[in-house]
Structure 1
Amino acid sequence: MLDFVVAAAISYLLGSIPNGLILGKAIWGVDLRQHGSKNIGATNAWRTIGKAGGISIFALDFLKGAVSAYLGLHLGGSELAGVLCGILAIAGHSWSVFLAFKGGKGVATGLGVIAALMPMVTLIVFAVWFAIVYFTGYVSLGSIVGAALVPILTLFFGLHTEFLILGLIAAVFIIYRHKSNIERLLNGTESKIKAAR
């Protein structure tokens, strides 16, 4: 039990690390909270400081989720512990203790969690996300569709109930965090990361 408590605490704190804010300021001299969508995530970083910044921040946020889920699996000793630690990492990213309980939308961190627990689901979700972003230019649309696919694919592959619960929680949470993006998509004012192919 103590091992799980330690893993849970580390997962939340790890998730809380604001990579976008730290890298943006340290390397590019830019506070992402003052530019674009004012979000510290990879999409705003890509638009504001360029491809290298976006990819770097995405990778670090992804690792926060993957490492947290791994800690849960191996310190907590069960798939449920892995799921709970993954959820705590997403919560930390979205409500960071280092940012007065504000943060990002949890997409990259959530993908990292899914990757550590359900690699096949992750490959499909990432492929769908990439295709949508490539052909439409809308990162938010790719993220929303990708999130919705997770519980569907979990059922399709017959994975354990813990993973289905994770998929449902992550999907609802990520879609909810994108509610303003959904409004802009519907009225045609959502920003594109690049021109559609």
Structure 2
Amino acid sequence: MDILIIVYAVLSYLIGSIPSGLIIGKFFFNTDVRQYGSKNIGATNTYRVIGLKAALPVFLCDALKGAAGVVLLSPYGPMFMILGGILGMMGHNWSVFLGFKGGRGVATGLGVLIALSPIVALICFLVWGVIVYFTKLVSLGSIIAAALVPVLMYFTGESFWFVGFGGLAALFVIVRHWDNIKRLLAGNELKVERIKKD
């Protein structure tokens, strides 16, 4: 095996592990988003705690982390592109820099999806946006959009590897949202609204 594949695979995980929400919150806004709201480091909780001025760059950075893994391993074919994307998502979800804790992988997964299939990414993003707009429930939009990925990959004629990635990515997102699913069923899920820090 080409040694560069191993190097790029490790880099994909390490790049994914960079805690964008924590870095941007602490460095630019003197706020640890893990102390407030859902205590998550992702863009949604960053928005709740700090606002769009922090949430937007966190979202973009997290998406770029996912795309980076795909791009790094793209010279080696679809299977390795997917490996890079999955490792990026794993890094975000289980960051080596945060004691193997992390976010829920939605923005990072979107970055992977944009790099693999921009059309599917656009459809999923629009579905997510409509759901969030009407319900203010980011978790619900994320779960439904993630579940659509393998279906859309299949019906847009993407390769077996891409459909398989869609299924695995959807599983990642749903598992990471398990507590959210329980709150959704109980009717007490947090909505995407600004909160005041204690």
Q: Cα deviations across residues 43-82 of structure 1 (Å, max 9, x unaligned)?
A: 00000000111111000000000111111113xx201110
Q: Which stretch of structure 1 is more off in the superposition, 1-10 or 142-151?
A: 1-10
How many residue pairs match? The answer is 193
2-structure distance, mates of 1:127, 1:136: 14
Rounded Cα–Cα distance in structure 1 between residues aligned with 2:7 and 2:161:
20
Residue 175 of structure 2 corresponds to which residue in structure 1? Answer: 176
Map 1:18-167 onto structure 2 (within 5 A): 18-74=19-75, 77-167=76-166
2:155, 2:59 → 1: CA distance? Answer: 28
Hey, what's the Cα distance between the residues in 1 that align with 2:101 and 2:171? 18
Structure 2: runs of 5 or more not aligned: none
Q: Deviations over 1:95-151 (max 9, x none)?
A: 111111111111100110011011110000000000000111000000000000000
Give the Å deviation of 1:194.
4.1
Report deviation, 1:90.
0.3
TM-score, normalised to structure 1's length? 0.96
Matching of residue 6 in structure 1 with residue 7 in structure 2: yes
Normalising by structure 2, report the TM-score: 0.95
Structure 1: gaps (5+ residues): none
**Partner Cα separation in structure 2 for residue 72 and residue 90 of structure 1:** 14
3-state SS of paired residue (1:86): helix
Tell me, in whole angstroms, the C-alpha distance in 1 between the residues paired with 2:61 and 2:159.
28
Alignment identity in percent? 53
